Structure 1
Amino acid sequence: MSEPESTNTMFHDAFTKLGDGSYALQTTGAGGGAATDVNLASSDVPLYSPVAESGFGNGSVTAPAAGATIATHQPPAGATGKLHKIVVTAWLSGTGTPAAVDGFNIAFKYGDTVISPIALVPDHHVPVATEFYFDAATGVAFSVVAVAAGTADVVYNAMIVATQIEP
């Protein structure tokens, strides 16, 4: 099996695979000196992988009305009381020209409570990802909603990825 290719160029070639299969961050000495391994290996960091209680929701709404739900995710009953990392990725598209107000017109909701507005780039196809951390509760959904009415022919898109990180 081949190693997955990273799309993050910030740390390109910064990690070194160790003999035990873990990874270490490689740093450069002062003045561009020789590279050295940092004492932190991937085995020192807890690994939380997605479980059955993780999930996602996505949606698109053209010129949403105020309060319209763009995307939602209902965690399963087995996720109750477990910590989740919620990544909301949102962007604008469509044939309409986004107005400046479209850049501040969505919010993240947990159940009936608006937790935080989410800023978007008021242009087409510029995804913005925002992270939240919540304990899931039975019957309480994570949602992305329009705050006010959207501009004509502008499509609001959102994807919610909820990953249970607490076993």
Structure 2
Amino acid sequence: MAKMVFIRIGEKLYPSAITNYSLSVGHKLGLIDGSNLKDVLEADSALTVVYLAAIGPNKNIDFSFDEFLFLYKTDQEELEQNYTAIIDACLDVVPNKFAEGLKKSTNTNVGKDQKKIKYPRLEIECVEDRYVLYCLASGIDSDTFWHHPIPDLERIYESRQAYKAWDNNPKTY
């Protein structure tokens, strides 16, 4: 599970992480250039990243970016610590042994009468593309998609895909 970074905004601590909701809102507000994780990593402002992380998992935050700037009273050192922790949490990918075990138990041999399926190379350009792939095609819950940290969502997707592949073609002995 991805690490949550707790950020003090005003008098309250908020669990914070970059989520698909963060990416979508950041792009729509013009705070980042697109709705992919690389756009957060290329953001011009640490304050932008901290704001997007704060709104990501917290469905009931109702303050704008300007209100956040007014409420977020911190020094440069704490801002940099929060920013670094958020970016590190985005990039902290733990090997998925669950999915790996399923992959090892999946029969990849193609029978004589069975055609091999060639999967398309997907170019995911935006959060809407990810929504179609993760929610509509793979059946991941919409709330999980929008408000869970990106590394957690990636792990859920990888495990789900590995399970579906195994379930469709388990190795037999």
Give TM-score scaled by structure 1 length: 0.22
Structure showing the higher strand proportion among its residues: 1
Structure showing the higher helix proportion among its residues: 2
